[in-house]
Chains A and B, each alone.
Chain A
Amino acid sequence: MNHLTVYLVLSAILFSLGIFAVISRRNAIAVLMGIELILNAANINFVAFSRFGTTNLDGQIFAIFVIIMAAAEAAVALAIVLNLYHNLKTVNVDDASTLRG
């Protein structure tokens, strides 16, 4: 069992845990934490393949762009959650159903 396999299995574990958090948690901030886990799992894959698959650093560059996007996403999502709490007095994603037909 080489190290590339370890990284890929670890990334699969993190990805599945993140998906499970997004599906099962009711709190909007817990859902956001699941999304962060998913993005980190993808980053581990990028960096591992950059290390074991190529001799250049393009995978690391892509991981940097993923981190940039995650930071922007977290800031906007937290602002939306604060607005949701201000308007509906809840951060439960099931209660924010005013757009449901």
Chain B
Amino acid sequence: MNVVGEIIFWIFVAVTVGSAGVVVFSRKLIYAVFALLFTFFGIAGLYVFLQADFLAAVQLVIYVGGVLVLMLFGVMLTNRIADIRISHSTRNLLVGGGATLLLFVILVVTVLNEHWSPLNMPFQGNTVNEIGQLLMGKWLLPFEVASMLLLAALVGAAMLARRSDQSGDDA
């Protein structure tokens, strides 16, 4: 990778880690949601560096366009924006922080002590074409199960979100 690519790569890493920190430690919930936008964006950039261009596009469309808008709706519908009291309270700071730090140290020590020998052989050819062939061939059954899951989630979410006292019948 050339120098410019290297610099852009580290910028994406910094954006991802920094905004993830804001997501977790921000006092206001609405700031956390907008920081999550930058986290997803940085991860999409990292996918491009991993030669997963289709996955980067999927990340942008589904996470930034779908999940994040859902989160924003959730925040706006459940919190009074002026009311900061609900949004910023935390619990288990000492115990949870200690346990998380321990987990993090274990993970990083394991990763750094392992002698990885990366196979630096980039995929040859069109990734979108290959992903389409795999989804319609080798992974056809999981693909169909995923479509059933999405249908069930769609019906279930619509059913759950309906207000029972206004519809009259059960909900």
Contacts and interface: CB of A to CB of B under 8 A. Distances in A.
A40 B134 CA distance: 22
A81 B107 contact: no
**How large, as a class, is the contact surface on chain B?**
35 or more
B119 interface: yes
B106 to A, nearest CB: 9
A47 B117 CA distance: 16
B108 A9 contact: yes
Interface in A73-92: 73-76, 78-83, 85-86, 90-92
A32 B70 CA distance: 11
A48 B48 CA distance: 11
A65 B161 CA distance: 25
A97 interface: no
B33 A60 contact: no
B149 A29 contact: no
Contacts of A61: 131, 134-135, 139
Interface string B50-67: 111011001100110011
A24 to B, nearest CB: 5
Interface centre among B24, B93, B127, B131 (most CB of A within 10 A): B24
Given A4-B118, A27-B86, A67-B63, A40 B43 contact: yes
A96 interface: no
A37 B161 CA distance: 25
B101 to A, nearest CB: 8
A71 B66 contact: yes
Given A60-B52, A74-B70, A53 B20 contact: no
A99 interface: no
Interface string A46-74: 01101111111110110111011111111
A15 B101 CA distance: 11
Given A13-B104, A60-B52, A91-B86, A68 B20 contact: no
B112 interface: yes
B55 to A, nearest CB: 5
18 contacts: A4-B118, A7-B46, A19-B100, A20-B100, A23-B92, A24-B97, A29-B74, A34-B24, A40-B39, A44-B43, A52-B119, A54-B119, A55-B123, A60-B131, A61-B139, A64-B135, A71-B150, A78-B70
In the A-B complex, list the 9 residue pairs whose CB atoms are closest, starting with the nearest. Answer: A72-B153, A23-B96, A79-B160, A16-B104, A52-B118, A12-B107, A79-B161, A20-B100, A79-B157
